[in-house]
Amino acid sequence: MIAEKDKVVSITYELHVDDGENGKEFFERIDETQPFAFLFGAHNILPKMEEAIAGKSVGDTFEVEIDFENGYGDYDESRKVIVPKSAFKENGQKQRHLMKVGNVVSMQDDQGNPLRGEILRIDYRGVLMDFNPPLAGLDLYFKGKVVAIREADASELEHGHAHEPGGHAH
């Protein structure tokens, strides 16, 4: 079986990033104890990454360099915004456990679209958050291996993403 549309592909990889100043630096490693599974052809991973994996079989390795423009784009200063502290209330109760510098918090924009932002600072003006993707502005260097390929089940095809073994997880 090969990595192609409507297959669930599991990979391991090591990711290095380059900000253009400091050279390649280690960012993360995904190993065989918890491989990354995705539904091939469902736009769940970067297109250049999917291109590098297309047609591979279990045991095949891959390497791909993805510049920031084909990755997560340029870092955008305008995506740093001050959010009112009142946005951190649920059922009228302040959620103090969320309001900590360094926390990454799931939120929604005006149209209800999901956003994730990192809390940079909290002061009298509110909560300064950065809604840039964590890898924005960085060139990416992946080196990995295909560790499993299987047919996607009907619910995975319907939902447009792979599910964890034994059930549906997001």
117 and 144, same domain (yes or no)? no
Helix, strand and coil content of the chain, in percent to the nearest 5, comes to 15, 40, 45
Residue 107 banded pLDDT, cuts 50, 70, 90:
confident
Q: Is 90 exposed, middle or buried (0-12, 13-18, 19+ CB in 10 A)?
A: exposed
Distance CA 94, CA 100 (A): 13
CATH of residue 152's domain is 3.10.50.40
Give the per-residue pLDDT at 135. 94
- Are residues 116 and 139 located together in one domain of the fold? no
Tens of pLDDT along 31-58? 999 999 999 999 999 999 999 999 999 9
Instruction: Say if residue 155 is in the same domain as residue 105.
Output: no
Quote the CA–CA distance of 115 and 4 in Å, as a whole number.
29
Residue 167 domain-assigned (yes or no):
no
Q: Are residues 142 and 121 in the same domain?
A: no
1 domain-assigned: no
* Number of domains, the chain: 2
Residue 23 lies in a domain: yes
Q: What is the extent of the structural domain holding 59?
A: 7-73+135-159
Asked whether residue 25 is domain-assigned, the answer is yes
Domain shared by 54 and 83, yes or no:
no
Tell me whether residue 54 is in a domain: yes
Whether residues 40 and 122 share a domain: the answer is no
Q: Tell me if 38 sits within 8 A of 100, measured CB to CB.
A: no
Residue 154 backbone dihedrals phi, psi, to 5 degrees: -60, -40
